[in-house]
């Protein structure tokens, strides 16, 4: 996206300030084991779904990943008592180091490379490229985003920008290690997803 200087500066300032200037009144952290487990399941399911979307040969599937990641942040925040708007979620993702435009661009690039590979080698290499990089990207980034959001909102939004970035980097590495354990679930989910069912999920939190 080509933002003018003022818009770019605004988003950068908002991203830098998100940890120190929370929206609304921050509540003290409350530990609820049942809620923690529920949020973890929600994050894992979202990661599996987005990993599966990267395996589907449909442009809409790639385009759905970022909105679904934003929806995940919204849902995690809501579990901890925060009603988040789109601007806050966008700034949150920018703060932890996720560029929404870069994610979409990377998805399209991967599809282009995968398509060219399929044409050249009869589908074998293209399939391997898509499975090896696509599902890992969708799974890992979604899992890391969800876990960072969980820690941030569970703490009462007390984590600094540096802490958010550190947690994201750690969770991303952890997610990359977990991805292979859920490869079968991701593959099965990719066969079950109806792309048209994604539209309502993309329109609302």
Task: Quote the Cα angle for 111-72-93, to 5°.
Answer: 75
- Residue 87 is classified by DSSP as H
| Mean pLDDT value of segment 119-133 | 38
What six digits make up the tokens of 154? 């569970």
DSSP 139-177: HHHHHHHHHHHHHHHHTTS---HHHHHHHHHHHHHHHHH
Residue tagged 């609304």 (tokens): 24
pLDDT digits 0-9 by tens, 42-78: 999 999 999 999 888 777 777 888 889 999 999 999 9
Side-chain-side CA neighbours of residue 159 (13 Å): 20
Task: Quote the Cα angle for 39-45-49, to 5°.
Answer: 145
What six digits make up the tokens of 89? 């979620």
Listed range (56-65, 146-155, 171-180) with the worst mean pLDDT: 56-65
Other C-beta atoms closer than 10 Å to the C-beta of 182 total 20
75, 205 in Cβ contact below 8 A?
yes
**% of the chain surpassing 70 pLDDT:** 63
pLDDT digits 0-9 by tens, 156-173: 999 999 999 999 999 999
- Burial of residue 57 (number of CB atoms within 10 Å: 0-12, 13-18, 19+): middle
């Amino acid at each position: 996206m080509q933002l003018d200087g003022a818009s770019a500066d605004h988003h950068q300032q908002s991203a830098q300030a998100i940890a120190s200037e929370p929206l609304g009144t921050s509540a003290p952290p409350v530990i609820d084991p049942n809620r923690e487990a529920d949020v973890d399941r929600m994050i894992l399911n979202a990661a599996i779904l987005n990993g599966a979307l990267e395996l589907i040969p449909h442009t809409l599937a790639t385009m759905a990943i970022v909105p679904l990641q934003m929806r995940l942040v919204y849902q995690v925040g809501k579990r901890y008592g925060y009603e988040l708007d789109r601007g806050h979620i966008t700034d949150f993702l920018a703060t932890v180091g996720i560029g929404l435009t870069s994610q979409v661009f990377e998805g399209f690039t991967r599809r282009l490379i995968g398509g060219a590979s399929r044409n050249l080698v009869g589908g074998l290499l293209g399939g391997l490229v898509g499975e090896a990089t696509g599902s890992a990207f969708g799974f890992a980034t979604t899992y890391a985003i969800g876990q960072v959001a969980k820690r941030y909102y569970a703490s009462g939004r007390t984590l600094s920008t540096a802490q958010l970035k550190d947690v994201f980097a750690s969770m991303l590495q952890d997610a990359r290690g977990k991805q292979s354990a859920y490869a079968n679930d991701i593959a099965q989910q990719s066969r079950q997803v109806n792309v048209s069912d994604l539209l309502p999920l993309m329109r609302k939190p």
